[in-house]
Structure 1
């Protein structure tokens, strides 16, 4: 059990990072690989283990959840679950390598949008003379596409969500962060259930349990910390996480 303590700590760190700004996978996955798991198995274990942590964060954030435009939270969450499941099904028949080359560039674009989203949205409103806010149908279509990407590849899909909501609706990053966490849990829920039956994640039950317990603790504590951060600081943390994640993806590729 003492040997599992580093995995537990990695789960705590990953859960907390996901609750505050994202990027928890960059802690969880290397820790599992360092412990001896094959990369494919480690990816499945980390996906499954981090979902309860995201759910714990969403529970803490429940009173801070705000609708994404005029779209109901129930419709958005249902779309995320369905899209995540569809993406996970695609992963069973198609290789994820096709997204690996594009992921850093997608993240770089999303980070730029995240940094300039609200000013860009306001500028478009002034130029056009009316709001450019996305309709509920457009929001749901975009969310389904992102959820499919999240279930299929999963690379920082939360950053892409925030970028989309920022430029399309002018939603503040700090205000939208709780909904990002809730939708991440929804996207990965169906994918994780599928991985339980199609991967060999259950071949390492102790590692899975240690990572899961740590992620729940970290997700719970991280969400409480994020709720106490000033909005400007939280926006800075989310943007810094996006920049760091983008750099790490370029270095990894």
Structure 2
């Protein structure tokens, strides 16, 4: 397995991305600029982190977040006006102050809501499970369950037997199962769209989870084709799958180290 290198032992290799207002800085939220907590409602982005991101925007105008959360939820967490916001793993984004959603995605919303109702009914006896309606997708959180792996298997088995699930995409993340439309963007394709639309030549991407591997993989591919210079940074933990690490160039150990890296990016 290819192991990423510890970022702070190799900062010189990132000098070409620093102090360049054509460099894009794109980050995930949960587990990257916000600590992983028992429930999604408890997650916060510290004021220190927000202030550091604002400094990033001063030097790197194309700075943004790509998250599994809804656009509204992401904005409420950060409240940074000029930041690029991409929500629901790329299914929606803010452009010129307006939320844009792929029209092909919208027809699946009623189906997702119907499946969500059935999942809630089937799993209503599992008090440790939390359900999150994100508008364009639906998430089952089982982090609070003592027997998390067993609950995961039960939930996936129930979902697989529901007729609606055959028409939708079922994906997993850190102690979550997500129901999404079978079309539209993932973090990789939305990053590629961002690169093409903004003529990005350099990009730093930061993430920690399975869906971030889509972005890592896409950027590695574009890098090899010399279409963009990129660097992938993973916040590594015991929950980070090996294939996510394999597609990262460097790793850090915590959200605090992401903030430290951002400070290095803004340091003259």
Fold shared per TM-score above 0.5: no
Q: Which has the higher helix share?
A: 1
TM-score in terms of structure 2 length: 0.29
Q: TM-score, normalised by structure 1?
A: 0.30
Structure with the greater alpha carbon radius of gyration: 2
Identify which of structures 1 and 2 has the higher relative contact order when contacts are C-alpha pairs closer than 8 Å and 6+ apart: 1
